[in-house]
Amino acid sequence: MSALIACHPAPAPSDWRAAMRDLITSPAALFELLQLSADQLGWSEQAARDFPLRLPRAFARRMQPGDPQDPLLLQVLASQQELLTAPGFSSDPTGETGAANPQPGIIHKYHGRVLLLVTGSCAIHCRYCFRRHFPYADNQNSRAEWPAALAAIAADRSISEVIFSGGDPLVAGDEPLRELVQALADIPQLRRLRVHTRLPIVIPERVTAQLLETLSSSRLQTVMVVHSNHANEIDPQVAQAFARIRGAGITLLNQSVLLAGINDTAAALIALSERLFEAGALPYYLHLLDKVAGAAHFDVSEARARELHREIAARLPGYLLPKLVREVAGAPAKVLL
């Protein structure tokens, strides 16, 4: 750990808002932290204008200075490769606009569950993000819009689970989240609340006592699905955040994306599953890349993905083996491979 970036000590556990205010958004600051140049990184100013750099310092501290191929760095690097066009890649690879977006702030693709876009903001901009082109401006879902979204959910008796999504829903403050959870708990047919978030990975101090009380004190059974792609993302602070989540009685799962040059080896995937389980999260999904415009350089073929999955299945117990899936626009569920 001594070789990792040591400047900017980690904020106190309750100081997550300070961490959000201190995000790295300047390419020059990133280059200085990692002791690398734009040329070494293949940095693209145009790609960064199209999808700006946002990087929490807690995540940056886990990167290896001087290494342009660091697997955490490559996830946030605005690369010249993003400017290349690729057949089959689009702005809406998973079919989240149109009929699947029946009203602002709601995405409803699968039977029995609905996504509620709590906020369009994220703490980190992952370059492979399938929502990097999503029309957030048309999907504002602040407190003023919540009543309409909640009424739509209450009117559909088939919905038993609401999924907080975004952006990242935990960018919202504890008090707005408390109001939203309480309102959902008042809808009789709802049984579960699921939270899809990357914040416990990239800003682990976001996992506050108030947040955990909010998520665990209603009648709804709560599941948190975090997003980690590489074992190096899970440091002692992340493991402590996981312990707090589990201590609140919240089921903790992880989903990953298979990314070329980052985790597309059996060794990397096995290390991730082992590290997740040691920290208290169960590997859940391994997604093939959603073919979003600008991310073709991360793509791993389905044939290679199946081969990797067979390799790790032969070396891991079943409970550490994530399901290999692809999301297909218009399909009634994720497609198991």
3-class secondary structure for 2-41? CCCCCCCCCCCCCCHHHHHHCCECCHHHHHHHHCCCHHHH
| Residue 7 is assigned to a ligand binding site | no
CA separation for the pair 129, 319 (Å, rounded): 27
What are residue 165's phi and psi, to 5 degrees?
-140, -170
200: which 2 tokens? 């416990």
3-state secondary structure of 93: coil
HSE of 204, CA atoms in CB hemisphere, 13 A: 23
CB atoms within 10 A of CB 4: 13
202: which 2 tokens? 């990239």
CA separation for the pair 35, 144 (Å, rounded): 45
Which residue(s) pair with 253 in the sheet?
A: 225, 282
DSSP letters, 236-293, are: HHHHHHHHHHHHTT-EEEEEEE--TTTT-SHHHHHHHHHHHHHHT-EEEEEEPPP-BT
3-state secondary structure of 147: helix
Question: Residue positions in the annotated binding site?
Answer: 122, 126, 129
Where is the binding site for [4Fe-4S] cluster, in residues? 122, 126, 129
